[in-house]
Amino acid sequence: MFKIAVLISGNGSNLEALIDACKKNVINGSIDIVISNNPDAYGIQRAKNHFINYKIIDNNRFETREDFDQALVEELKDSNPDLIVLAGFMRILTSVMTEAFKNKIINIHPSLLPKYPGLDTHNSVVKNGDLKHGITIHFVNEVLDGGQIIAQGEISVNANETSEELKTRIHAIEHVMLPIVVSKFADGTINTKRVIYEKFK
């Protein structure tokens, strides 16, 4: 069975999308563990609701980013996942983590990278009057949102659309595309030489 680890920091809506996809056999695999760096993340409750093993590793308890990442590595090596999915995980990983699980960590980011790495992507789109917005799923390295792109989903920005309205639409795309990409990893059909690109209304 293809084993997935999901790392979260907040609400966990993408975690829920992955759970649903596993239950419906859209993904030929299972979520083995959920790890949160935030003890108050609602995503922990989502894991509990579905009887999924979870672990809280509070980054505030560590002196350095490397120390925190080493704790992640030790926990993940115990479960030995085939794929690690960062789903709203608000930490920049160091080489301690990325080298330990090279080409096994993916992240979902709310912009059409390389445009708008980091935070406040929806506000940036509105502020700059962009006509397009979207999401990117990419491999993770120690450069912020800098890993190889696997998939992107694009929407057209509506006239006078607010950042909150964009955020809602972007979340909907994330919930569709992340399970598709993870399912391709689980089936062994992912093609890392070709970016999956989808357009949404």
Query: Distance between CA atoms of 196 and 174, rounded to whole angstroms?
Result: 13
Tally the C-alpha atoms within 13 A of residue 144's C-alpha that lie toward its C-beta. Answer: 8
Strand partners, 100: none
Q: Choosing from 50, 109, 122, 138, which is the catalytic residue? A: 109
The sign of the torsion formed by the CA atoms of 119, 183, 170, 20 equals negative
Taking the C-alpha atoms of residue 15 and residue 34, their distance in angstroms, rounded to an integer, is 9
Q: Which residues pair with 3 in a beta bridge?
A: 30
CB atoms < 10 A from the CB of 28, how many?
15
Q: Residue 184 region, left (φ>0) first, then alpha (ψ -120 to 50), else beta?
A: alpha
122 is catalytic: no
CB 177 within 8 A of CB 14: no
Catalytic residue numbers? 109
